[in-house]
Structure 1
Amino acid sequence: MSWAERPVVYSLALFEIFCGLLVNGFITVAKLVDWWEGKKLKPFDKIFFSLGLSRLFYMFFFIFNIVNRIFNLNFYQICFLNWMLNTVYLFLDFSSLWFAMWLCVLYFIKVAIFKNTFLIRMKLRIPELVLYMIQSSLLISLVSGFVFAYNFEGTLDIMNPPKNAETNTSVNKQIMYLVPSYFFGHFFPFILVSLSSSFLVEHIFVHVKRLSSNVTSFTTTSMDAHLSAIRSVIMIEVMTIFNFIVTILLRFDFQDFCNQGVLFLFTVSYPVLHSMALIVANANLKKSAHKILHHLRNVVQQDQCVPKVK
C-alpha cells in the first residue's frame, strides 16, 4: 500500500471501525440490559451477546493495528509479542465466526420441521446445549489460533501481510499445523453456515409453496414476511462467502491481483455489515434499535425547538 493510499484507507477503516463499535456495542449492551432487568436470556440471546462482545474486542484490535502502523511502534517485530498478537487476532476472528455459525445453525434447527428423532431431541435440548456451544467455540478458537500463530513464521497483521507467505513456513508445518488449525477456525464454520443457509432457504421456499397452494388464509403479509426472511439469509450467506474469499486472498498473498488496501477495508467491513444484518433479522434487537433511534430523533427535535438566548 503506497503512502498516498494510506490516509484514505485508514480514514475509511476508522469510519468502519467506529460503525462496528456502535453496532456490536449495541448488541452487547442490549443483551446486558435484558439480563440486568431480570429477563431470562434465551439461547439466541446468549450467543448474540457472545458474538457482539467478541466483535467489539475485534474492532479494538483493528484500532491497535492502525495505531501501531501510524506511529511505527513495531510491536510485531518482537518475536514473543508477534506470537501473542497473532494468537489474540485469530482467537477473536475464529470465535466470532463460530458464534455467527451457531446463530445460523440454531435458526435452521428452530424453523425447520424434522422427522429424525436425533434432530428432534437436539431441537428440544438447545437451551441445555447453548452453554456447551459457547464454551466449545471459545476453546476451539483459542487452540486453533494458538497452534496457527505458534507455527506461523511471520505477522498476521492484515494491514501488512507477509510477502511470499508460502516460503515463510515449511511445507510440513503448513500441512501438519497451519491447514488443520485454520480449517477448524475458519473453514469449518464457513461450511456449516453455507449448508445451514442453503437448507434454510430451501425449507422456507417449500413451506411458502405449500401454504400458498393449500391454505386459503395465507395473506400477502405472511408472504412478505417469509420472503424477507429469505432475503436476510441470502444476504448473510453472500457476505460470509465474500469474507471467505477475501480471507483467502489475504492469507495467501494475492496482492498482484487485488489491492491490499481494498482487501483490508472489506475485511473490516464484514463484522460490521454482518452484525447489522443480524440486527435487522432479529425482532427484539430491531425493536430496541428503533426505540433508540426514535429517542435520538426526539432529542434532536427538542434541541432545534429550544430558542437560542442572545
Structure 2
Amino acid sequence: MQNHVEKILLVLIIGEFVTGVLGNGFMVLVNCIDWVKSKKLSTVDLILVVLGISRIGLLCLIKWDSFLFLFFLDQTDDEHQNFIRDLFWIITHLSSVWFATSLSIFYLLKIANFSHPFFLWLKWRINQVVYILLVGPLFVYVSYQSIKLVELYSDRTLSRRENERNESQAVQMNRKHYFIEEVGINILNIPPFILSIISCFLLLYSLWKHSQKMQLKVKTSRDPSTEAHKRAMKAMLSFLILIIVYHIGILFTYKNFSKLTSMFGMALMSLYPTGHSLILILWNSKLKHAALLVWRQLKCCLKLNKSSNV
C-alpha cells in the first residue's frame, strides 16, 4: 500500500514540475515576445518575467532534492554538492518570495486609492519603489546568507575531520542540517510576508471604500476599478495561502525522516511556484488571451491530426 502511495506522490511531483515549468516558461516567453515587439517592458511585465525565471529555478531545485532524498540519500553527504545546492536554494527561494511581494505592492500602489501624502508619494514613484524592492532587499539577503553559508560549511568540514561518524549517522546529521538551515532561511521570509499581508489588507480596505462610494452612485453592470481590486485581491490571497502551504511542505520534507512524508512535503512545496503562476496567467488579460490562442491552435492541430489519420 505504501509503495502505491509513493508512486502516486512521485507522479504528482513530476506533474507539478512539468506544469510549473511550462506555466512559468509561458509567462516569461509571452512577456519577452511582447518586449521585443514593442521595444519596451512595463513594470508589471518585468516583475512577471523575473518571477517566472526564479520559480523555474525553484521547481528545478525541488525536483533535484526529491530525486536525491528518494533515490540517492546516501549521496547527500557530499559537501561540495550540498554547498552548490544550498546557494542555489537561497537565490531561487528568496528571489521568488521577494518578486511576488513586489507584485503585491505594485498592485496596491497601482489600484488602491488613498489620500495620505506618503501613499501618494509612493504612488507617484511606483516604478522606482518596485525596482528598489526587486533589487535592494534581495541583494542584501542573498549576500548575507551566502556569507553565513560559507561559514557554516567551513565549521561543518572541520567538525567532520575531528569527529568521523558512520554512514547512517552522517546521513541523519545531513537531514538535520537541511532542516535547521531551512528554518534559518525561512525566518528571512517574515518581512516580505508581512508586507504582503499589509498590502492585501490595504487593498481590501480600498475596495470597501470604493464600494461604499459606488453605492451612492448609479450602479453599472461592471465597474472597472472594482474588477481590478478583486483580481488583485485574488492574486494576493492566493500567494499568501500557497506560501503558507509551501512552508508546511518544507516542515514535512526536512523535519520528518520518513520517505513517504518527505514526498508528501515536496508535493506541497511544488504547489506554490506552480499554482500561483497559473493563477496569475488566468487573471492577467494579456497572458490569458495568449493562453487561449495557444489552446485554440492546439485544438486545431489535434483536429487536423485526427482527420488525417481517418
**TM-score surpassing 0.5?**
yes
Alignment of 1:196 with 2:199, yes or no, is: yes
1:294-305 → structure 2 map (5 Å cutoff): 294-305=296-307
- Aligned match of 2:295 in 272, 293, 296? 293
Structure 1 position 137, deviation (Å) = 4.7
Aligned to 2:276: 274
The letter of the residue matching 2:204 is V
State the 1:236 CA deviation.
3.2
Question: Residues 42 and 162 from structure 1, CA distance in 2 versus in 1: closer, same or farther, beyond 3 angstroms?
Answer: farther
User: Secondary structure of the residue that 1:217 maps to in structure 2?
Assistant: coil
Q: Is the 8 A contact 1:197 1:237 kept in 2?
A: no
CA offsets per residue over residues 122-170 of structure 1, 9 Å max, x none?
212222344333222541342254255443769xxxxx9968848997x
The separation in 1 between residues aligned to 2:234 and 2:285, in whole angstroms, is: 15
The residue identity in structure 2 corresponding to 1:243 is Y
Is 1:240 aligned with 2:243? Answer: yes
Q: For residues 61 and 254 of structure 1, do their structure 2 counterparts lie closer, same or farther at Cα, with a shift above 3 Å needed?
A: closer
Provide the residue aligned with 2:187 in structure 1.
Answer: 183
1:24 aligns with 2:24: yes
When residues 244 and 131 of structure 1 are mapped into structure 2, their CA distance, relative to the original with a 3 A threshold, is: same
Report how far residue 5 of structure 1 moved: 4.7
> Number of paired residues?
291
| Change beyond 3 A, Cα 1:63–1:168 | closer
Residue 132 of structure 1 is matched in structure 2 by 132
In structure 2, do the counterparts of structure 1 residues 11 and 147 end up closer, same or farther at CA, with 3 Å as the change threshold?
farther
2:123 corresponds to which residue?
Answer: 123
Cα deviation, 1:98-127, whole Å, max 9, x if unaligned, reads 100100111011111122223212212222
2-side partners of 1:220 and 1:168: how far apart?
Answer: 49
Tell me the amino acid that sits aligned with residue 297 of structure 1.
K
RCO (CA 8 Å, sep 6+): is it higher in 1 or 2?
2
Distance 1:196 1:265, change over 3 A: same
* Residues 181-224 of structure 1: per-residue CA shift (max 9 Å, x gap): 5433x22211211221122123213312321x111133257698
The structure in which a higher percent of residues are helix is 2
CA distance in 1, matches of 2:264, 2:249: 10
**Structure 2-normalised TM-score?**
0.79
Query: Cα–Cα, structure 1 residues 229 and 168, in superposed 2: closer, same or farther, change >3 Å?
Result: closer
Which residue in 2 is equivalent to 1:8?
8
Does structure 2 retain, via aligned residues, the 8 Å contact 1:239–1:274? yes
1:280 touches 1:286 (CA, 8 Å); kept in 2? yes
Q: What is the CA deviation profile of residues 61-111 of structure 1, one whole-angstrom value per residue up to 9, with x for unaligned ones? A: 233334445663855322132122111112201110110010011101111
Find the counterpart in structure 2 of residue 219 from structure 1: 221
CA drift of 1:276 comes to 0.9
Is the Cα–Cα contact under 8 Å of residues 111 and 225 in structure 2 kept in the other structure?
no
Alignment partner of 1:209 is 2:212: yes
- Relative to structure 1, the CA distance from residue 32 to residue 223 in structure 2 (aligned partners, 3 Å threshold; closer, same or farther) is closer
Residue 162 (structure 2) aligns with:
none
Q: Residue type of the partner of 1:237? A: L
8 A contact 1:27–1:48 mirrored in 2: yes
Q: Which amino acid aligns with 1:9?
A: L
Q: 1:164 to 1:134 in 2, by over 3 A?
A: closer
1: distance between equivalents of 2:174 and 2:75? Answer: 18
1:134 maps to amino acid: L
Measure how far apart 1:281 and its partner are. 2.0
Any stretches of 5+ residues in structure 1 without a counterpart? 155-159
Aligned-residue identity in percent: 20
1:167 & 1:56 partners in 2: Cα distance? 21
My pick for the range that moved more, 42-51 or 63-72, is 63-72
Structure 1 residue 21: deviation in Å?
A: 0.7
Contact 1:20–1:271 (Cα < 8 Å) also in 2: yes
Q: Which residue of 2 aligns with 1:113?
A: 113
The 8 Å contact of residues 91 and 141 in structure 1, kept in 2 or not, is answered as no
* 2:286 corresponds to: 284
**Is 2:97–2:192's contact at 8 Å kept on the other side of the alignment?**
yes
User: 2:115 aligns to what SS in structure 1?
Assistant: coil
